[in-house]
Amino acid sequence: MAAPGRATDHSLDRRMRILVAEPLADEGIDVLQARHDVDVRTGLSPDELRTAIADYDALLVRSQVRVDAPLIEAGSRLVVIGRAGVGVDNVDLEAATRAGVTVVNAPTGNTIAAAEHTLALLLGLARRVAAADASVRRGEWQRAPFEGVEVRGKTLGLIGLGKIGLALADRARGLEMTVVGHDPYVTAEQASLHGVELVDLDALLARSDVVSVHVPLTDATKDLIGRATIAKMKPGAFVLNVARGGIVDEAALADALLSGQVGGAAIDVFETEPPKDSPLLSAPNTILTPHLGASTAEAQVAVAVEVASGVLDVLDGRPARSAVNAPIVSAEAAGAIAPFLPLAETLGRFFAQFARTAMTTLTFEVAGTPADNDPAPLTAAMLRGLLQATTEERVNLVNAGLLAKARGITVVERRKHEAGAYAALVTVSGDVGGQRVTVGGTVNAGEERIVRLNDYRLDMEPSAVMLITRHNDRPGMIGRVGRILGDADVNISAMHVARSGPRQDALMILALDEDVPEAALESIRTQEALADLWLIQLGGDGVRADDH
């Protein structure tokens, strides 16, 4: 569904105009020029770019040009925006989607470059290469201060098992390292294909001689490597970050380097770039590089060709596998499924935390009024909620199935025209440890409602923070939990209690106005009647599931 006034008559045999606004490898330019007219105009000011863009059907950028809403609005002919790289922080995706402009990136072109740079930093730390080089340049000739360690036989802990994490795992095994990994959305079977033992985060921190992060920057991963996680690491461990600035708390890491809790750190990305005031600049035992993860000649060519191919796919009317924003659907279909897209994403995010573990098969069922349409956009929305905290790529209709398959997940879609007592019902279910886990919801008067958790029926509006207890139905249990939350200054906005029978199994769901401190959670865990506990976070990109 294109925005009003946006050109939509692009014929497959018409040569279109493509503007390349930042340097791109010649191989990518050649791919584009074989089919369309290409102008390479780098160094344009924002005003100059806004003036020029009206004459182009496609725009290609790297990371410096900001493709904001005014620029997209000025591109009345614009069909596709190509970002030569993984991150799309410099592109206003909401404005692009609203205007009917597809955004494509190059998610795989820099995989090897980033993995090899991480490995280079690891070896540089292990053999103290940078410090030894500086010593020789000062006219010194010392060996004892630069005695290193071998990586053979050491344990590498990978936080995040996406493309780059797994590529690094393959290479580390070639160095005879033991590799453990943590990724709540990768199955043990999928990890084992790359020789990775899947463990929980605490076990990874305790066992690893080297901790390397390979996750996107979200609310959940901000300062993931902070004081609390560093305290759980093996003393003297190395820390590597070639992912995103902000995942590592730079002040906490600098303090740990000074104290010796962390034996060395190699950092390629920073919260603020360039890192003029970072405490890591003066911290000992560090290697710092200026965001070089993708900076190889081969990666630049691969990224250019990949993004150029994605742009051509869109211009030729084909779905682009590297599309990162929502697909364009017909007005009729959009009107029918639009109210259920936010619900599907909420259910995916809720299910990921309620199930607590990855699984190989999910069943996604759409019943009632939305079942008359293709459920693929709803499935994509559900997978976005399920996966978005663990992948750099935005999940949409084009790539949802591929991303799920890459993580060993099969989604079985079902449609039913009858939804029981509801006009529409959307459910996600899967088997965990021999038990069926189910989360179901509906939309009532424009509001999302959670109406099913496993075999329990309820009717509750999702909240940014929700606390769920499964407990024996005993007098005083609800009051004790309420008192603990009250003492922690956590306000309860809504409550629902479902039970199998008097003084039997009960499920209590609380909607909260604030997050729950760890001390309060620990107090709730000590209640004798408690059987299980979940802290579900649905607000923003944050995901945190309590693991009782």
94-123: pLDDT as tens digits: 888 778 788 999 988 999 999 999 999 999
| Residue among 254, 180, 113 nearest 267 (CA) | 254
Identified catalytic residue from 291, 321, 415, 544: 291
DSSP E strands in 351-489: the ranges are: 361-368, 410-416, 424-432, 435-444, 447-453, 456-460, 465-472
What does the chain come to in residues? 548
Q: Is the pLDDT of residue 59 over 50?
A: yes
Residue 334 has what pLDDT? 65
For tokens 């993860």, the residue is 293
Task: Report percent pLDDT > 90 for the chain.
Answer: 71
Identified catalytic residue from 273, 298, 332, 447: 273
Q: Is the pLDDT of residue 545 over 50?
A: no
Identity of the residue numbered 169: A
pLDDT band at 3 (very low <50, low <70, confident <90, very high): very low
**C-alpha 264: how far from chain center:** 27
Residue 541 has what pLDDT? 40
For tokens 């000739």, the residue is 141
How far apart are the C-alpha atoms of 484 and 479, rounded to whole Å? 9
62-85: pLDDT as tens digits: 988 999 999 999 999 999 999 998
379-416: pLDDT as tens digits: 988 988 888 766 765 565 556 777 788 888 889 999 99
Rounded to an integer, the average pLDDT of 224-241 is 97
Identified catalytic residue from 117, 194, 244, 470: 244
Is 273 marked active-site? yes
Helix (H/G/I), strand (E/B), else coil: 464:
coil
How far apart are the C-alpha atoms of 143 and 132, rounded to whole Å? 8
* Segment holding 298, helix H or strand E: helix 297-315
How far apart are the C-alpha atoms of 116 and 296, rounded to whole Å? 10
**C-alpha torsion angle, residues 394, 404, 545, 531 (rounded to 10):** 160
Q: Is the pLDDT of residue 1 over 50?
A: no
Task: Check: CB of residue 84 under 8 Å from CB of residue 303.
Answer: yes
**5 vs 180: which has the higher pLDDT:** 180
| Residue among 250, 247, 254, 186 nearest 213 (CA) | 247
DSSP characters over 216-250: ---TTTTTSBSHHHHHTSPTTEEEEE-S-TTSB-H
Output the average pLDDT for the chain. Answer: 90
**C-alpha 186: how far from chain center:** 13
304-362: pLDDT as tens digits: 999 999 999 889 877 677 888 755 455 566 678 888 989 999 999 999 999 988 778 99
Task: Check: CB of residue 497 under 8 Å from CB of residue 479.
Answer: no
Can you say whether the dihedral through the CA atoms of 450, 456, 459, 460 is positive or negative?
A: negative
| Residue among 253, 241, 348, 273 nearest 89 (CA) | 273
Rounded to an integer, the average pLDDT of 172-179 is 98
* 169-183, 194-208, 298-312, 355-369, range with the lowest pLDDT: 355-369
Q: Is the pLDDT of residue 483 over 90?
A: yes
Residue 397 has what pLDDT? 59
Task: Check: CB of residue 310 under 8 Å from CB of residue 104.
Answer: yes
How far apart are the C-alpha atoms of 83 and 68, rounded to whole Å? 13
Domains of the chain in sequence order? 17-107+298-325 (3.40.50.720), 111-288 (3.40.50.720), 326-461 (3.30.1330.90), 463-548 (3.30.70.260)
449-482: pLDDT as tens digits: 999 999 999 999 999 999 999 999 889 999 999 9
Residue 542 has what pLDDT? 35
Task: Check: CB of residue 448 under 8 Å from CB of residue 523.
Answer: no
Rounded to an integer, the average pLDDT of 242-267 is 97
What does the block give as tokens for 112? 């090897």
Residue 548 has what pLDDT? 35
How far apart are the C-alpha atoms of 47 and 55, rounded to whole Å? 14
**C-alpha torsion angle, residues 139, 144, 148, 153 (rounded to 10):** 160
Give the angle subtended at the CA of 380 by the CAs of 378 and 382, to the nearest 5°: 70
What does the block give as tokens for 286? 């560090």
Residue 258 has what pLDDT? 98
Identity of the residue numbered 231: A
| Residue among 15, 56, 14, 27 nearest 39 (CA) | 56
Task: Check: CB of residue 118 under 8 Å from CB of residue 242.
Answer: yes
119-142: pLDDT as tens digits: 999 999 999 999 999 999 999 999
Compute φ and ψ for 473, nearest 5 degrees: -75, 95
Strands of the 424-432 sheet, one edge to the other = 410-416, 361-368, 424-432, 435-444, 447-453, 456-460
Task: Check: CB of residue 167 under 8 Å from CB of residue 115.
Answer: yes
